[in-house]
Amino acid sequence: MSRHFATAAIVQAAPGYRELRITIREQGKADDIAMIAVRPMHDTPDVLAAFGWRLVGSLEYVAGPNEERAEVEPCNPADHGGAEALRDAVRREIRARTRARLLVHPSARHFQPVLLNGDHSTDPIGWTFVVGVNHDRGHGWVTSTGAVSHGPRITTRADAARNVRHEYMAQMTEAQVEEPDDSTAYAQLQQQPGDVLARLLLIVRNGGTIPVDAEPVEKPAGETEGPVFRKGDRILCVDGVTRTVEGMAPTGTGEPARVVVEGGGEWIAGNCLRANPEVILAAHRRSNAAGDRVRTKPDPTNSEWRAALTELGEALDYLRKADPTVRVALAEDDAREAAIQVHPDARGFQPIHNPGEDEPAAWTFRTGHAAGSRYGVVTRTAEVSPIGLYEYPTTAERAWRQHESELTR
């Protein structure tokens, strides 16, 4: 029987929002198989029990990364009211993220929760997210009951959050907050046991979607899910590292397909992207052709123009993940725009790297002129750090690192 291990930590998931995040992996496997993320007012053993896992022994605290680790084993999910409330919170997030991507915004990313009453809130009432790139970049929102923003993209995340609260209060007035607008889809999630919900949450947190608005399709006996890769293929694994394929691993009935990479590690194939040079080159060609059409006689009423815009978004979304050069360039574009929205004269962006990482975690930027110049930091997720402005870029970087360290304590 396989052994499983859980890692639990209270993390700063977004500005003003902390969560207890638990990941579970199987011994000998490189990628996680499940994730649980709830508000940090619950004990780790209780949260694990709600999703069908129990401790083998006790939790061990690891001071460096400030987390707890333990061996766990499957069990029957706890059935008390508190456990069901935890599962229901995860169901709402799975549905919200999936509906946002499937129904309106395929490129939705950088989800951040919206609370009704700050730290006194229990669960999010919705999420804001980023859509589009460069000058087409904006924000959208989705509520915990599944209502998704339509129409023009919203300029700031703060405005999107206000829309979530407005929608929530309107539903409160109409006494409809507890009634999902897609009861069939929600009923499907309610039928899923806790361990399945934890697997689904990992998928949507990693940018995937699940068919919550359609009946599940039964696979023929013995058929596995996920793409098939061949020896020599280059793939982007879920941790953001590109690796070379050695072959496909044998799997049993109902198990997800796994791909074996150089060194013997195994990854769930459905979580990997093809990253062969010819695939990346083809995506560049598609994005260039679509970009040329989008820039030529823009006309949102023209079906050909709209199709080109969709093609551009899909190609850039793939390149953002598979091509490190594009990934960094697009992230820097997002970060620059975010900084300029707060400081219109922001310029002189310089990357900040964490030890051992090739891609920047943030950028410093300069405002003002001559002796009045001051420096701030904007992060990889396009959020201007609240540390303020400093006389030197090195001081701003130190303040940002100190702030990030304090958030994870």
Residue 183 has pLDDT above 60, yes or no: no
What is the distance between the alpha carbons of residues 276 and 282, in angstroms, rounded to a whole number?
10
pLDDT greater than 80 at residue 113: yes
363 beta partners = 351, 378
Query: Lowest mean pLDDT: which of 207-216, 290-299, 323-332, 392-401?
Result: 207-216
Compute CA distances 187 → 182, 214, 280, whole Å.
9, 11, 39
Global pTM value: 0.60
The secondary structure element, H or E, covering residue 36 is strand 32-38
Q: Is the pLDDT of residue 160 over 90?
A: yes
Cβ-contact 23, 6 below 8 angstroms: yes
Summarised one tens digit per residue, pLDDT across range 131-144 is 876 667 889 999 99
pLDDT at 317: 83
- Per the DSSP assignment, residues forming a β-bridge with 73 are 54
C-alpha span between 6 and 44 (Å, rounded): 10
Judge whether 205 and 35 are in contact, CB under 8 Å: yes
Structure tokens of 63? Answer: 């001071």
- The residue ranking higher by pLDDT, 172 or 59, is 59
C-alpha–C-alpha distance, residues 113 and 257, integer Å: 32
pLDDT band at residue 105 under the 50/70/90 scheme: confident
> What pLDDT is stored for residue 223 in this prediction?
42
What number is the average pLDDT over the span 177-186?
50
pLDDT at 267 (0 to 100): 87
Strands (E), 327-401: 347-352, 362-367, 374-379
User: pLDDT at residue 214 above 60?
Assistant: no
Q: Would you state the pLDDT for residue 132?
A: 78
DSSP helix/strand/coil, 256: coil
Average pLDDT over the chain reads 84
pLDDT tens for each residue of 53-94: 999 989 999 987 889 999 999 999 998 778 999 999 999 999
Q: Read off the pLDDT of each residue in 230-249 and give the average, rounded to a whole number.
A: 86
Indicate if the pLDDT at residue 366 is higher than 90. Answer: yes
H/E run at residue 54: strand 53-62
User: What residues have CB less than 8 Å from 221, skipping those under 6 apart?
Assistant: 253
Q: Helix, strand, coil proportions of the chain in percent (round to 5)?
A: 35, 25, 35
> Within a 13 Å sphere around the CA of 383, how many CA atoms are in the beta-carbon half?
18
Strand 53-62's sheet: what is its strand order?
32-38, 17-26, 4-14, 67-74, 53-62
Alpha-carbon distance of 332 to 362, in angstroms, equals 9
pLDDT value for 314 = 87
Residue type at position 393: P
Q: What percent of the chain has pLDDT over 90?
A: 36
pLDDT of residue 184: 55
Query: Measured between alpha carbons, how far is 64 from 61 in angstroms, rounded to an integer?
Result: 9
